[in-house]
Amino acid sequence: MGWCSSCITRWSNRNAYRLISLSAGLPHPPTIGRMFPVDQGQREADVKPAFTNLRENYSSVASVDQAALFGEIGWEDLIGEDSFANTCAIRVSLALIKAGIQIKGRMAIRKGPFSGALIEPGQAKLAHMLASPSMFGAPEKFSRDAAIAGIGQRQGLVAFFRIPGYLGGAGGHIDILLPSIGVKVCGSECYWDCAEVWFWEIR
């Protein structure tokens, strides 16, 4: 069977995109208030899960404690460990995995239907993974005072950096952001008083 030229072009473009390497952890230039280009946004939209799927697979702190969360993924030996007290990136990683998104994290799920899938336990590392071109792409970045107005009533993933009073002001948090009018609601907790907010809209 012959190949039409337009089919070859589409095949080449798709496979060229798949070869883009993950650039997790690399520094990103300031993009406060800047939207990503339309063509880049279209490619990223193909990677993102539906928000309803992500929300249904997200386990909040209020509904699933650390012991239950770690028991689900076979990390029973880490229950109560101080270095794993912050579970925000683990919760978001697991929700993404359940929604069909592969994470190139550092720790594997040890049991259950997603055994072997990799979770990223670090908030900053996970945020930078998501910001890579092969994942969700560059987030919208906002300063403390501009975040709520800039995000508006949209839904998606949100990362908070340099939270006052947490790890000496150097700590962060990553979460899902639910659509709302007025006060913004996160899956577990929002930190709008942080120094910088990253946001990825997911529809």
Write the CATH number for 53: 3.90.1720.80
Tell which phi-psi region holds residue 92, choosing left (phi > 0), alpha (psi between -120 and 50) or beta.
Answer: alpha
Residue 147 lies in a domain: yes
What is the domain count for the chain? 1
Q: Tokens representing 80?
A: 């109560």
Q: Is 12 within the bounds of a domain? A: no
Question: In which residue ranges of the chain is pLDDT below 50?
Answer: 1-44
Range of the domain at 39: 31-201
List, in sequence order, the alpha helices (H) in 50-195. Answer: 51-56, 66-73, 88-98, 123-130, 147-151
Pick from 65, 95, 101, 90: which is nearest to 173 by CA?
90
Of 164, 24, 179, 154, whose CA–CA distance to 89 is shortest?
24
* 150 within some domain: yes
